[in-house]
Amino acid sequence: MSALNVAMFGLGEAGALMAKDLVDAKVQVTAFDPANVATPAGVIRANTPHEAVATSDLVIALTAGDDALTAMEQALEAIPTGAIYADFSTNSVAIKQQLAARAASRQLHFVDVALMSIVPGKGIRTPVMVAGTGARSFASIFAEFAMPVEVVAGEAGAAAQRKLLRSVMMKGLAAVIIEAMRAAEAAGCSEWLWGNITTELATADAALITRLVAGTNTHAKRRLHEMQCTEALLQTLALDPVMTHATVESLQQVLAQGIPAIPNSVIN
């Protein structure tokens, strides 16, 4: 794999960690980042994006979502025909498809990459989902670095779509915990609540999650009353119950529509 020539756009936390791991694996990495950030040992720092991609076989774009289009356009004409362009940004399906179309116009193989875990602590071994014309080639290359890669059937945007669907739960869970902890702080019992939450999450399994969801269908009326009381409590604590109010509305929706099917699960 030493012959692989990688161009890296972005040397932020994730980009720097992945660049370091590639260099450690004897891969040549040439990176461009307009910000005043450190250059990992062994990485060639390019002065321009064109310089970074001039001889690349693979371009890895690890930029913020709203910079993804700009990152591609900054050197699109200079990327060698037939190279792979892998966009790691968290983005909408539409943006991923737009990036794919621009790559195709230059005869590049595009990869919609969705990071499925945080990069710190894992680096190049961070699990990803990939889609697009370059997905299988990407998976073959990164298998040699022990990166867990799941290829998603379909065009670019299919991996991004799955990550965003997962984000409904992952980011929503964080938001719910933050609201609960704000309320517990106001009520003077934050240490107790944090311990309770972390214990519940640490011991959760598929059976518990299934019961939580299925039980919402069975006990929606009772749970609605409970969450209306919870919403009122947060208001007495001078907090805006954004997530709690959303739960109230969700339970009202369950009463009217029921719950979605739970795939491959046995409801106990």
- Same structural domain, 55 and 11: yes
- Mean pLDDT computed over 166-172: 95
Q: What is the pLDDT of residue 87?
A: 97
What is the arithmetic mean of pLDDT over 116-137?
96
- Is there a single domain that holds both residue 95 and residue 170? no
Give the pLDDT mean for 207-218. Answer: 92
* pLDDT for the residue 264: 73
CATH of the domain at 32: 3.40.50.720
What integer is the mean pLDDT of 224-245?
98
Do 134 and 19 lie in one domain? The reply is: yes
Mean pLDDT for 108-130 is 96
Residue 268: predicted pLDDT: 45
- Among candidates 20, 98, 15, 17, which has minimal Cα distance to 59? 15
Query: In which band, very low, low, confident or very high, does the pLDDT at 121 lie, cut at 50, 70 and 90?
Result: very high
Q: Are residues 143 and 197 in the same domain?
A: no
Q: How many structural domains are present in the chain?
A: 2
Give domain status of residue 262, yes or no. no
Residue 60 lies inside a defined structural domain of this protein? yes
Look at residue 2 in the predicted model and tell me its pLDDT.
46
CA-nearest of 55, 64, 66 to 10 is 64
Indicate the residue among 154, 184, 215 that finishes a domain: 154
Q: Is the pLDDT of residue 1 over 80?
A: no
Is 224 in contact with 248 (CB distance < 8 Å)?
yes
**Domain, as residue range, for 246:** 162-257
What digits encode the pLDDT tens for the residues 19-67? 999 999 999 999 999 999 999 999 999 999 999 999 999 999 999 989 9
**Overall pTM > 0.85:** yes
Percent of the chain exceeding pLDDT 90 equals 94
> How would residue 263 be classed by pLDDT, with cut points 50, 70 and 90?
confident
